[in-house]
């Protein structure tokens, strides 16, 4: 039986072998790794050891995982250094996982500013947008209103620089290759989690609750991320 040091060595060897496999296979950022069954055979490791190696590579940003779709190669530091300022080019080089991490870093801070500066007009528009989302008869309609909602939160910050940052972020988000998202219904169900989350954001902004607005937006984006990736 292996002792703890043996298990650690085994895992570290699997991590190194997996890195070499990704490199030698010529897999590029955004491309999917083979199924676990194939990888265990290729690397000569157990499924448990492979999963630990995959978790290690995910933590250091080498790969990202999409629940139900598989494991994908992420952009490397060298790839990121080569990025231009074009939203379309950025979107082509960013993974959905990194995109969501960027949103989590930026949008809660914008919501905090919105709680300080939101005008009555933008608060009324936010409430109206929420109602339109609840009444959406298709996912396409819902997602269009969701875009409007998040931009209105940025507008509520009353800060042109933050609004510009949000617009840049949103253009990159649209350019990221998310792949097909499977829906279980033709339209958002009445108990769709984002409805209550959006209302919580607006309530905090309306109440001038800065910490609450920050936390409500963070909670909402984490909920979206968990539906896509399982956790983030």
pLDDT tens-digit profile, the chain (232 residues): 333 334 445 778 889 999 999 989 988 877 889 999 999 999 999 999 999 999 888 877 788 776 667 888 876 555 545 544 566 666 666 778 888 899 999 999 999 999 999 999 999 999 999 999 999 999 889 888 999 999 999 999 999 899 989 988 888 887 775 654 566 788 888 888 899 999 999 999 999 999 999 999 999 999 988 877 776 5
How many Cβ atoms are within 10 Å of 67's Cβ, its own excluded? 11
* Cα separation, 226 vs 197, whole angstroms: 14
**Is the Cα dihedral 43, 45, 49, 50 positive or negative?**
positive
Q: How far apart are CA 149 and CA 155, in angstroms?
A: 10
Helix (H) or strand (E) holding 208: none
Q: Which CATH code fits 4-74?
A: 1.10.10.10
Tokens of 25: 């296979």
Query: Cα(148)–Cα(119) distance, rounded to whole angstroms?
Result: 17
User: Does domain 87-229 bear CATH number 3.40.50.10880?
Assistant: no
Which token pair is 135?
């009444």
3-state secondary structure of 183: coil
User: So where are the chain's domains?
Assistant: 4-74, 87-229
E-strand spans in the chain?
Answer: 63-66, 70-73
């Amino acid at each position: 039986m292996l002792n703890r040091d043996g298990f650690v060595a085994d895992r570290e060897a699997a991590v190194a072998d997996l890195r070499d496999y990704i490199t030698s296979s010529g897999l590029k950022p955004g491309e999917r790794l083979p199924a676990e069954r194939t990888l265990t055979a290729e690397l000569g490791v157990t499924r448990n050891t492979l999963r630990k190696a995959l978790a290690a590579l995910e933590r250091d940003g080498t790969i990202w995982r999409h629940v139900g779709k598989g494991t994908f190669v992420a952009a490397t530091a060298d790839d990121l250094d080569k990025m231009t300022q074009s939203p379309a080019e950025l979107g082509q080089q960013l993974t959905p996982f990194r995109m969501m991490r960027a949103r989590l870093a930026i949008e809660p801070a914008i919501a905090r500013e919105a709680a300080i500066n939101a005008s009555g007009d933008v608060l009324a528009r936010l409430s109206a947008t929420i109602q339109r989302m609840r009444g959406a008869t298709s996912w396409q309609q819902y997602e269009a209103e969701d875009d409007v909602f998040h931009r209105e939160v940025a507008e509520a910050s009353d800060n042109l620089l933050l609004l510009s940052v949000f617009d840049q972020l949103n253009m990159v988000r649209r350019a990221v290759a998310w792949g097909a998202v499977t829906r279980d219904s033709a339209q958002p169900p009445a108990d769709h989690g984002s409805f209550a989350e959006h209302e919580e954001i607006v309530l905090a902004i309306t109440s001038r609750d800065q910490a609450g607005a920050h936390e409500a937006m963070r909670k909402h984006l984490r909920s979206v991320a968990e539906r896509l990736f399982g956790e983030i």
